[in-house]
Chains A and B, each alone.
Chain A
Amino acid sequence: MVEKKSVITDFQETPPRTSEWNRVWKVFLQRKTAVFGLVILVLLVLVAIFAELLAPFDPVKGHLADSLKPPGAESTLKPGSHYWLGTDTQGMDTLSRLIFGTRTALLVSFVTAAVSALAGIMLGLLAGYLGGFVGALIMRVMDALMGFPMLLLALFMAAVLGSGIQNVMIALGVAMLPGYARVMNGLTLSLKENEYILAGKAIGATDARIMVRHILPNALAPMIVLITMQLGNLILAEAALSFLGIGIKPPTPAWGAMASNGYRYLVSYPMLSFAPSIAIMLVAFAFQLVGDSLRDALDPRLRGLL
């Protein structure tokens, strides 16, 4: 190749480039609700990480002499420490279970979202880019999965797989998969009509390269928004499964199961159901706030579409 500098590279008077992420971050931080949601999430992540340090009691070991204590009661096991939110029938401290439940909830939602989004994006990308019989087949299977209500599909999968944290993640992951695939498929279909894709093909770029280097980055913004919004839905869905007794079972601290167990003692001990339900709502709320603001910051055109 002959070295030939183009005119444009010589000419360096373009305005200083701020990175796209910097711009997004700036717009995002301008919104009070976004910062509020983000602060809640950061706090919850910290609670999940430092659960051992924060929880006053063992979350899975009950002390039967202290069963169904009202909030604020003193422990007979550890004199001087109090059950700030009371105890359940097993004498397990509600606050400690709530704190460790944060870990369960965040673990389930982050891992499930990551895996199902990755798989969904790949399937949607392949189906959209390749088209033809393979593409149609992938998308019809996704349509079929979407024929089930999300919760029903998760329920169905969880019923077959059995309870337990890992099976809940698989069930929820399968239930979330078609949503990602469908959005990614739509994005791919419209992105591949761009001229830079044609240009890429003309200079001999492989299909894999075009998909990963040219289509994927351009589809990233809406996908990130979708993932953030689905994180909140995942928390709600996991809680619903655990509430029905099909998801994560005691003694593993899970908010949904806690609310369900407390429901039987609603008259006398409302805190047993109220506390975990409020925790679930708080997380879902925070994810929703962050998701909405991210959508507006990343691309105002996405308003109403996601």
Chain B
Amino acid sequence: MGAFLIRRLLVALIIVFIVTIIIFLVIRLLPGDPLIIFLGQQGGQVTISEEQLELLREQYGLNDPLITQYGNWLWGILRGDLGTSIYYHEDVGKLMAERFPVTLHIGLVSLIGSNLLGIILGILAAVRRGKWIDYIVTTTAYIGVTIPQFFIAILLVYSVGLKLGWLPIAGYKPLSEGLWESTQTIIMPVICLGFLSLAGAARIMRSSMLEIMHQDYIRTAWSKGLSERAVIFKHALKNSLIPMVTLIGIGVGITFGGSVIVEQIFAVPGVGRLLVTSIFAQDYIVIQSGTLVIAIIIILTNVLVDISYGWLDPRIRYN
């Protein structure tokens, strides 16, 4: 296990290294000078002399050879310095640190809620296979994987927000402003963000449970005269949960990807919104560091998933 852990972390480190190269190269392949593009965004009033431009270039290190720029960026990240945003004129680390708790709040509630509900629905559907509840769950799961996230948002905003007026249609309040005050603002974003994961969890849980229910040891449990509750919760549930670990790993990626859209629609000041704003502002420093941070989180999550997978199921050998 120890050797596996070290090897897995090493591979993850190599992958992170490749990620930094990809991000850096793609950004530098931008047709044109990042600064010119940025200045052009500021409207027509830019009257900057060649000398000033040169000064700015020097300031952002854009005159250095690519490898030096890359080295400086990487060295900065290693020291925890993500660079200074061109658009916000603030430290990217600080920008991310301000917005991260917001994304984490909504993301965690959605991830936990959707997976729990998905697991319950999946079990119900598997246990009552072919009954009405199974049809409802499978249909909901189908809708969940085919509905655009923004359409869930549009439907919720239209019905619950605008027609019924029950929930605010935009904005975010942190937990420190009161539980209900805060929860009110995240209900709709959480539903939008979690519906896809819910559908995935219900589908996987259902098929995993159905597969387990055909195993010999389940038949033994039945023939011992155990109650349905005991068979399902004491024997079947544990093993059928194993595929869920992978799904939670995927869920972290889906949540970050989805937060880009959901935060934009509901005007939630999170990391996703920061990235979209930076993309429109052509703020390459925020884009490169922000994307890298998210990629690192996802790669680390995958390492954790791999490790817990082996821990949960001793049959899986590491080689």
> A residues near B, CB below 8 A?
140-141, 143-145, 147-152, 155-157, 159-160, 232, 236, 239-240, 243-246, 256, 259-260, 263, 266-267, 270, 273-274, 277-278, 280-281, 284-285, 288, 303-304
Min C-beta distance of B278 to chain A, whole Å: 8
In chain B, residues 125-159, which have Cβ atoms closer than 8 Å to a Cβ of chain A? 142-143, 145-151, 154, 157-158
Q: Is B27 an interface residue (CB 8 A)?
A: yes
B73 → A minimal CB distance (Å): 16
B211 within 8 A of A: yes
Among B257, B261, B299, point to the contact of A147 (Cβ < 8 A): B299
Cβ-closest chain A residue relative to B203: A304
Knowing A244-B260, A273-B154, A304-B211, say if A157 contacts B26 (CB, 8 Å). yes
In the complex, whether B298 has a CB less than 8 A from a CB of chain A is: yes
C-alpha gap A160/B11 in the complex (Å): 28
CB-CB under 8 A from B291, the residues of chain A are: 148, 152, 156
Minimum C-beta distance from B134 to chain A (A): 15
Report the separation of the CA atoms of residues A236 and B14 in the bound assembly, to the nearest whole angstrom: 31
Which residues of B (47-95) have their CB < 8 Å from a CB of A? none
Interface string of B260-304 (1 = CB under 8 A from A): 110011000000000110011010000100010011101100100
Also in contact, A144 and B26, with CB within 8 A (given A240-B149, A259-B150): no
Cβ–Cβ < 8 Å partners of B257 in chain A: 149-152
Any A CB within 8 A of the CB of B22: yes
Give Cα A263–Cα B158 distance, bound, in whole angstroms: 9
Closest Cβ of chain B: how far from A232's Cβ, in Å?
Answer: 6
Are B150 and A260 neighbours in the complex by a CB distance under 8 Å? Answer: yes
B interface residues, tally (CB under 8 Å):
51
In the assembled complex, 7 residue pairs joining A and B whose CB atoms fall closer than 8 Å, in A order, are A149-B256, A149-B294, A150-B253, A151-B260, A263-B154, A266-B154, A281-B143
Task: Answer yes or no: B207 CB below 8 A from chain A CBs.
Answer: yes
Are B27 and A236 closer than 8 Å at their CB atoms?
no
Residues from chain B with a CB closer than 8 A to the CB of A263 are 150, 154, 265
Which residues of B pack against A, CB within 8 Å?
11, 14-16, 18-19, 22-23, 26-27, 29-30, 142-143, 145-151, 154, 157-158, 162, 204, 207-208, 211, 253-254, 256-258, 260-261, 264-265, 275-276, 279-280, 282, 287, 291, 294-296, 298-299, 302
**Shortest beta-carbon distance from B183 to chain A in Å:** 23
CA distance A151 to B298 in the complex (A): 13
Partner of B154, one of A143, A145, A274: A274
For A147, list chain B residues within 8 Å (CB).
15-16, 19, 295-296, 298-299, 302
Interfacial chain A residues near B204, Cβ < 8 Å: 304
In the bound complex, residues from chain A placing their C-beta under 8 Å from that of B143 are 281, 285
Find out whether the CB atom of A151 lies under 8 angstroms from the CB atom of B146.
no
Q: Is the CB of A140 within 8 A of B150?
A: no
| Chain B minimum-CB-distance residue to A141 | B18
Contact B19 A160 (CB under 8 A): no
A156, A245, A285, most chain B CB atoms within 10 A:
A156
- Which A residues are in CB contact (< 8 Å) with B142? 285, 288
With A259-B151, A270-B158, A285-B142 given, is the CB distance from A140 to B15 under 8 Å? yes
Given A148-B298, A160-B30, 10 more contacts at CB 8 Å?
A: A144-B16, A144-B22, A148-B295, A152-B256, A159-B279, A160-B26, A239-B148, A240-B149, A284-B148, A304-B211
Please measure, in the bound complex, the distance between the C-alpha atom of A295 and the C-alpha atom of B274, giving whole angstroms. Answer: 39
Q: Name A281's contact: one of B14, B15, B148, B253 (CB within 8 Å).
A: B148
Residues of chain B with a CB closer than 8 A to A285's CB: 142-143, 146
Most buried by A among B15, B29, B275: B15
Determine the chain B residues whose CB is within 8 A of the CB of A270 once the complex forms. Answer: 158
* Contacting residues, chain A, for B280 (C-beta < 8 A): 245
Least CB distance from A122 to B in Å reads: 19
Closest to A287 in B: B146
Which of A140, A150, A236, A274 has most chain B Cβ within 10 Å? Answer: A236
Asked whether, in the complex, the Cβ of A156 is within 8 Å of the Cβ of B158, the reply is no
Which B-chain residue is minimally distant from A255 (CB atoms)?
B148
- Complex CA distance for A149 and B258, rounded to whole angstroms: 9
Q: Which residues does chain B contribute within 8 Å of A274, judged by CB atoms? A: 154
In angstroms, Cα B162 to Cα A5, docked, is: 81
CA distance A244 to B142 in the complex (A): 24
List, in ascending order, chain B residues with CB within 8 A of A149's CB: 253-254, 256-257, 294, 298
A280, B260: Cβ atoms under 8 Å? no
User: B15 contacts A144, CB within 8 Å?
Assistant: yes
What is the bound-complex CA distance between A304 and B246, given in angstroms?
A: 13
**For residue B265, which residue of chain A has the nearest CB?**
A263
Distance in Å from the Cβ of B43 to the closest Cβ of chain A? 18
Within the assembled complex, what's the spacing in Å between the Cα atoms of A267 and B164?
Answer: 12
Shortest Cβ distance from B247 into chain A, in angstroms? Answer: 12
Residues of A within 8 A of B158 (CB): 266, 270
B22 lies within 8 A of A145 (CB)? yes
